[in-house]
C-alpha cells in the first residue's frame, strides 16, 4: 500500500451512515479503517476492520495505531458512532447518561485526540480533516422527540467543532460537522417511517446517501472549516 494513499478512520462503520461512508471513501481512493463494536472482516484489502467499543478509551488509540501501522498515516476521521435515546428528561437513568456520554463524548475525545496528533505528522499544508456527525435536534428541539441527552452530547460536538477548527486552522487540520435530520437507517423501525417523515418540513425522511454526500462534500471543500452543515430538509429552520 503506497504511503501516498490517503487514509480515513470511520467509526460506527458496520451499517447505516458509517457503512455508506466506508464505500464513499473507498471510491475516493482512500484506504479505510472501519470500526464498530461488532464488525466482520472485509475482503477488500483497502479496508481494515477493527472491532471495539468506541466508549473504551483504548479503542480510539488502537484505531489510530492500526491505521498508521497498516496504511502509514491518518488523513481523515469520521466520528459517526453515536447513541440516541429519546426519553423525557426525568426518566433518564444514570446508566443512560453513562452510555450516551461514553459513546458520544468519551468516544469522540479518545479517537479524535489521537487522530489529530497523527495528522499533524503529515506533510503539506492540508494535513487532515475531522468530520463529526451531530443532529439537527441540537438547534431545533421537538416536543415529539424528547432528547435532552442527545442535545447535551451532540451539542458538545457542535461546540468543539468550532473550537478545534480554530485551534488547528493554521496547522492544516480542518474540523467540520454534519447535523442530520432523521435518516432512514436500521436505527428506526420501518413502521415508524411515516411518523418520522412528518417531522420534516418537506414530509420525508433523509436517506443515507444524503449524509454521505455531505461528508464527501466537506472532504473536498478545503476552504471550509468550523462548519455545522445541516442536512435535515429544513428542520433546523423551523417547522
Q: Which residues of 93-129 are buried (b: 16+ CB within 10 A; e: fewer)?
A: eeeeeeebbbbbbbbbebbbebbbebbeebeeeebbb
Q: How far apart are CA 224 and CA 217, in angstroms?
A: 10
Give the distance from CA 8 to its chain's centroid.
12
Mean pLDDT of all residues belonging to the chain:
91
Q: pLDDT per residue over 97-147, tens digit each?
A: 999 999 999 999 999 999 999 999 999 999 999 999 999 889 888 787 888
Domains of the chain: 7-237 (3.40.50.720)
Length of the chain (residues)? 239
Residue 199 has pLDDT above 70, yes or no: no
pLDDT at 203: 61
Question: Could you tell me the three cell numbers for 102?
Answer: 461514553
Question: Could you tell me the three cell numbers for 83?
Answer: 447513541
The whole-model pTM stands at 0.92
pLDDT at 178: 98
Torsion 213-122-171-59 (CA) sign: positive
Residue 1 has pLDDT above 50, yes or no: no
CB proximity list for 227: less than 8 A, separation 6 or greater: 161, 165, 176, 177, 218
pLDDT at 222: 97
Q: pLDDT per residue over 41-95, tens digit each?
A: 999 999 999 999 999 999 999 999 999 999 999 999 999 999 999 899 999 999 9
Decide the pairing of beta strands 47-51 and 76-79: unpaired
Amino acid at each position: 500500500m503506497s504511503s501516498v494513499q490517503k487514509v480515513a478512520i470511520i467509526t460506527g462503520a458496520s451499517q447505516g451512515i458509517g457503512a455508506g461512508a466506508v464505500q464513499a471513501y473507498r471510491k475516493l481512493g482512500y484506504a479505510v479503517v472501519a470500526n464498530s463494536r461488532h464488525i466482520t472482516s472485509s475482503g477488500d484489502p483497502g479496508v481494515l476492520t477493527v472491532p471495539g467499543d468506541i466508549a473504551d478509551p483504548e479503542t480510539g488509540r488502537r484505531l489510530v495505531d492500526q491505521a498508521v501501522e497498516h496504511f502509514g498515516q491518518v488523513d481523515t476521521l469520521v466520528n459517526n458512532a453515536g447513541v440516541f435515546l429519546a426519553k423525557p428528561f426525568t426518566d433518564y437513568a444514570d446508566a443512560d447518561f453513562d452510555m450516551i456520554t461514553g459513546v458520544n463524548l468519551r468516544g469522540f475525545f479518545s479517537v479524535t485526540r489521537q487522530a489529530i496528533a497523527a495528522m499533524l505528522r503529515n506533510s503539506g499544508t492540508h494535513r487532515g480533516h475531522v468530520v463529526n456527525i451531530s443532529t439537527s435536534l441540537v438547534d431545533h428541539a421537538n416536543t415529539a422527540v424528547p432528547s435532552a441527552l442527545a442535545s447535551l452530547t451532540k451539542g458538545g460536538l457542535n461546540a468543539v467543532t468550532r473550537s478545534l477548527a480554530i485551534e488547528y486552522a493554521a496547522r492544516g487540520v480542518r474540523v467540520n460537522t454534519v447535523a442530520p435530520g432523521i435518516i432512514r437507517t436500521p436505527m428506526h423501525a420501518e413502521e415508524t417511517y411515516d411518523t418520522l417523515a412528518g417531522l420534516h418540513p418537506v414530509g420525508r425522511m433523509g436517506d443515507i446517501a444524503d449524509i454521505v454526500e455531505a461528508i464527501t462534500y466537506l472532504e473536498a471543500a478545503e476552504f471550509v472549516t468550523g462548519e455545522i452543515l445541516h442536512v435535515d430538509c429544513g428542520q433546523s429552520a423551523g417547522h
